[in-house]
Each structure stands twice: as C-alpha cells, then as structure tokens.
C-alpha cells in the first residue's frame, strides 16, 4: 500500500479494511492487512466502527514499531480462547524477521536505513510487504511477509557495495528499543505544538504548519489540532523529522510554566 494521495485511494483502502473484517467474521478466521504506514493506520483507526464486523489489533514485530500489520479478529475466537485480548503469538501475524549481515566485516560499509530499504525495493518488492528496518551496528533487522522471506534471503546479497547474507531469525527474542535522548524543559501548557517545539528546538509557528499539514501522529493517529494535549506515555511521530515519547509533566515553575520530560528517539 502506497501513500494515500487522493480521496479515491482512501476509499479503496477503507473498502479493503471492511472486506478483511467481513471475511474474518463470515469465515471465523483471522485476516491480515499488509504492513501499514502511519497514514494508513490512521485511516483504519478513524474508520467508523459500525462499518467493521470485527475488532482489530495492530502489531509490527516489537513494541515501538512504526509500520504495523492489522489483524481482524472475530469475537468467536476471543470466546474460544476464553480471553478478552490475544497476544501476538496467538494472533500469529504472517511475518518474520530477517537478519542482514556483512559477509566480511572488515570491508563492510557504514550502511543506514535508506541503504537497506533501497536494496530491498530494488528486488521488486512492494513497500507494503515489508515492515520496519532496524539498523543495529553492522547488522540490520528487516520485518517482512513470510511468503517473501525465502526470496529475500536468496536474492538480497548486496547492499550498496557491501556483500551481505540474509537469514531468518526467531522473532520471539526481539525486544528492540531505539536509542533516545532525554530532553527536559518548560512549557506554558502541555499542548502538542509546545512539546514539538521543545523536542525539535524549533519555533511553534513552523511546527504549527506541520500539524495543520497532516504530518503529526500521536500513537499512530493523525492529529491536526495544535491544542491537542498528549497523555504521558504517548508517542509522537512527525513525518520527515522523527519521533519522541512524552514521558511526564511535573511541577509548575515560579513563572507558572510546567516542567516536562520527553525522550527523543535518535
């Protein structure tokens, strides 16, 4: 699924979500979307619940995943399991994690997210078939549909000028937490525009344009109101700039400003 760029695209995606939910309900099975970007997740979250036949749960392989797959789960399965909620193992999302490693560490380049993504897309794979790419030192982890795994392992042998090998590894041990820096400061009020200004050391005027330009998401939901007040623990993502978690709001200063702590992912 590509970036939504027209009302027609949005309507088609909504129709696809409804069809997946209907199939899950009628056949009493779990159905799955492709990997969804933040914009697509927002379309799903804001779809009127009376249009869906089931509940859905999203997951991307680890707690902080940006690209996530939605699972549409009929109530009958919750009853069968005797649970109100199912964990990712029980839902059995149809994706796996691939580890990309240099064949010769001595001659390996310093590769970044864009390098790995370019190499994967050059194989002719649609972006919707892959999830996040996590770069960890000289290696990278790629989340991908299970039906793409064998082909990627066989075909992905080079990233830029570095020869690599790609292997399927267990997803159960993935507990990735991106590096972050703690930022403390004061704000007049715990509004979204104030927190953005603190996180990205920019003017509220510029950041207001990002909010109104539909580039800011809180927990995967598009927020277009400057005065929106995130709750402690919320993750704020700004397309093209990065993301941070709003950790806490503390006491007021003598100038009646609020002490806040955020963690910006680097």
pLDDT at 220: 80
Q: CA 124, 128, 131, 135 torsion: positive or negative?
A: positive
User: Could you give the count of Cα atoms lying within 13 Å of 44 in the half-sphere of its Cβ?
Assistant: 29
b/e sequence 195-233, b meaning 16+ C-beta within 10 Å: bbbbbbeeebeebbebbeeebbbbebebbeebebebeee
Alpha-carbon span 243 to 240, nearest angstrom: 9
Q: Enter the tokens of residue 172.
A: 């159960």
Of 47, 170, 185, 197, the C-alpha closest to 99 is: 170
In the predicted structure, residue 3 carries a pLDDT above the cut 70: no
- Provide the residue range defining the domain that includes 77: 7-91
Of 156, 111, 165, the C-alpha closest to 135 is: 111
pLDDT category at 5 given cuts 50, 70, 90 is low
Residues 70 and 23 in one domain: yes
pLDDT at 15: 96
Q: What does the pLDDT average to over 17-35?
A: 97
Strand order in the sheet with 221-222: 180-187, 258-265, 242-252, 235-238, 216-218, 221-222
pLDDT category at 1 given cuts 50, 70, 90 is very low
Q: With respect to residue 36, please indicate whether it lies within any of the assigned structural domains.
A: yes
Alpha-carbon span 171 to 117, nearest angstrom: 20
Element (H, E) at 252: strand 242-252
User: Could you give the count of Cα atoms lying within 13 Å of 64 in the half-sphere of its Cβ?
Assistant: 20
Q: With respect to residue 1, please indicate whether it lies within any of the assigned structural domains.
A: no
Q: For position 52, which CATH number holds?
A: 3.30.1370
The total number of structural domains in the chain stands at 3
pLDDT category at 173 given cuts 50, 70, 90 is low
Distance between first and last Cα of the chain: 27
Residue ending a domain, choose from 169, 201, 233: 169
pLDDT at 262: 92
Q: With respect to residue 175, please indicate whether it lies within any of the assigned structural domains.
A: no
| pLDDT tens-place string over residues 49-65 | 899 999 999 999 988 88
> pTM for the whole thing?
0.80
Q: With respect to residue 245, please indicate whether it lies within any of the assigned structural domains.
A: yes
Q: For position 124, which CATH number holds?
A: 3.30.70.330
């Amino acid at each position: 699924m590509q970036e939504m760029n027209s009302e027609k695209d949005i309507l088609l995606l909504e129709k696809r979500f409804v069809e997946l939910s209907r199939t899950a309900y009628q056949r009493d099975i779990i159905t799955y979307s492709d990997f969804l970007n933040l914009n697509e997740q927002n379309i799903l979250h804001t779809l009127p619940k009376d249009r869906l036949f089931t509940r859905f749960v999203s997951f991307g392989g680890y707690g902080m995943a940006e690209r996530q797959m939605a699972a549409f789960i009929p109530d009958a399965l919750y009853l069968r399991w005797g649970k109100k909620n199912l964990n990712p193992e029980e839902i059995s999302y149809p994706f796996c994690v691939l580890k990309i490693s240099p064949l010769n560490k001595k001659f390996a380049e310093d590769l970044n997210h864009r390098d790995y993504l370019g190499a994967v897309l050059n194989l002719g794979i649609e972006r919707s078939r892959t999830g996040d790419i996590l770069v960890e030192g000289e290696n990278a982890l790629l989340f991908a549909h299970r039906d793409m795994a064998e082909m990627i392992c066989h075909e992905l042998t080079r990233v830029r000028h570095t020869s690599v090998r790609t292997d399927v590894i267990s997803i159960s041990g993935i507990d990735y937490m991106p590096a972050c820096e703690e930022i403390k400061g004061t704000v007049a009020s715990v509004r979204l525009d104030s927190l953005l200004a603190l996180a990205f050391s920019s003017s509220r005027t510029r950041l207001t344009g990002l909010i109104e330009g539909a580039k800011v998401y809180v927990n995967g939901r598009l927020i277009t109101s400057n005065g929106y007040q995130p709750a402690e623990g919320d993750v704020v993502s700004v397309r093209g700039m990065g993301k941070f978690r709003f950790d806490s709001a503390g006491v007021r200063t003598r100038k009646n400003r609020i002490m806040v702590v955020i963690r910006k992912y680097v």
